[in-house]
Amino acid sequence: MKNRCHGRRHIPANASCGFALAETIIALLILSIAILAIAIVPIMSSKMAIQTTQRERAMSLAINRLDILESESYGKAVNSTDVEGEFTVTYTRGATDKKGVVIVSWSGITGNSELRLERDLSEIAFEVVNK
């Protein structure tokens, strides 16, 4: 029998010495999938951070508009739409309705998003604001 591998050890002719091409390709495929998964983590974290910041800004705008609705006199109907940067803010209240509704919509990194807030409004809150 001939020794197919280098070194002092005697290996039979039908034994394999080292990696075959198929094993190397499979190992590289597994390694590339792992590296791709590791590379996606910072991209997804940045995406989530941007989405959270946009949602926080939308929440701030909605709360501000609810405060504006509450500061209006009770018998006054309000139906308004404002655009602030990438956000469209729609806020409404009927003349005799005790409920204020604010809808903030925007087109963000994850597509179109919307935030809706409702609040029961006080009948006398506008008197405190004007003092």
Q: Of 8-12, 43-47, 78-82, 107-111, which range is least confident?
A: 8-12
Domain hosting 49: range is: 21-129
Q: Does residue 92 form part of some domain? A: yes
Residue 69 included in any domain: yes
Residue 49 covered by a domain: yes
| Residue 34, pLDDT score | 94
| Res. 40: pLDDT tops 90 | yes
Is the confidence at residue 115, as pLDDT, over 60?
A: yes
Is 42 within a domain?
A: yes
pTM of the complete model: 0.69
Residue 100 tokens, joined: 């204020």
Tell me, yes or no, whether 3 lies in a domain.
Answer: no
- Sheet with 99-108, strands from edge to edge, namely 78-84, 87-93, 99-108, 111-120
Domain membership flag for residue 78:
yes
* Number of domains observed in the structure of the chain: 1
Tell which residue, 108, 130, 103, 95, has the closest CA to residue 119.
103
Query: What is the average per-residue pLDDT within 33-56?
Result: 93
- Residue 20's pLDDT is 83
Determine, yes or no, domain membership for 9. Answer: no
Assess whether pLDDT exceeds 70 at residue 9: no
Q: Is residue 12 part of a domain?
A: no
Residue range 105-115: mean pLDDT, rounded:
91
* Pick from 59, 65, 63, 88: nearest CA to 78: 65
Strand partners, 118: 101
pLDDT digits (tens, 9 = 90+) for 61-70: 999 999 988 8
Confidence category of residue 33, pLDDT binned at 50, 70, 90? very high
Integer-rounded Cα Rg, in Å, for the chain is 32
Q: Give ∠ CA 6-10-12 in degrees, rounded to 5.
A: 105
Residue in this structure with the two tokens 């597509």, named with its chain if needed: 111
Q: How far apart are CA 114 and CA 21, in angstroms?
A: 53
Instruction: Provide the pLDDT for residue 95.
Output: 78
